[in-house]
Amino acid sequence: EETTATVQWLSALARTHGLALAVGMSQPRLNASGLVVLDHRGEVIAKSHKAAARSGIRRPGIPVQGTLRLRTGGTVRVGLLLGAGDLEFSEPARLLMLDATELGLLAGAVLGGDMLRVHALVRAGENLLPMAVAGYDVGYGLDQYGQLRPPLPDSADGPPATARTPPPDGA
């Protein structure tokens, strides 16, 4: 489970800058990973955890949904997919689509490579589900037809100073 200090730090960061955040978290002691989504007010709207029985064995998880409130007053139904297992199997993305998810968020440690990119393209296209994919090695967006979207331009000033500040000790 995410440490309270880390989630509090992320909450303050989201609130301070008025940004929604989707952050993947590694839990190596538990051989597990997690994903937490916070809205622009710093409130946790969804979180997902998945533990691996053994390293190297991939299994799909049960997708989690949340409703992200936007600063404009609207909402977006987001669905959380966690790790390559949720990408390689068709069922998690299909369940999200059937439950009217508007944006799939996929986080994992290693999501690059040709096969995983193909899986991401297929899952987005077969479910008409736009997806945002982020891992240590790659980050990209896909529209509802599985077409790769260009990345957002980097800010000339770089991230805000608080975004460069590491989380609290022990987090």
Tell me how many domains the chain contains. Answer: 1
Could you tell me if residue 148 is inside a domain? yes
Could you tell me if residue 63 is inside a domain? yes
Count of CA atoms in the C-beta half-sphere (13 A) of 111: 27
The owner of tokens 């937490």 is 36
Give strand pairing partners of 4. none
Could you tell me if residue 157 is inside a domain? no
- Rounded distance between C-alpha atoms, residue 61 and residue 84, angstroms: 10
Could you tell me if residue 161 is inside a domain? no
What pLDDT shows up at residue 109?
63
CATH code of 124's domain? 3.60.110.10
Could you tell me if residue 167 is inside a domain? no
What pLDDT shows up at residue 156?
47
Q: Which residues constitute the domain of residue 24?
A: 4-51+59-152
Dihedral angle of Cα 19, 45, 48, 114, to the nearest 10 degrees: -40
Could you tell me if residue 76 is inside a domain? yes
Give strand pairing partners of 141. 132, 149
Could you tell me if residue 162 is inside a domain? no
Q: What is the DSSP letter of 113?
A: S
Could you tell me if residue 22 is inside a domain? yes
Going residue by residue through the chain, which has 171 residues, state the pLDDT in tens, using 9 for 90 and above.
446 788 899 999 999 998 888 887 776 666 667 788 889 899 998 888 776 655 555 666 667 777 877 777 788 888 888 877 788 888 888 998 998 999 888 877 665 677 777 888 889 999 999 988 877 667 778 888 878 776 655 544 444 444 444 455 554
- Give the burial class of 131: count Cβ atoms within 10 A of its Cβ; 0-12 exposed, 13-18 middle, 19 or more buried: buried
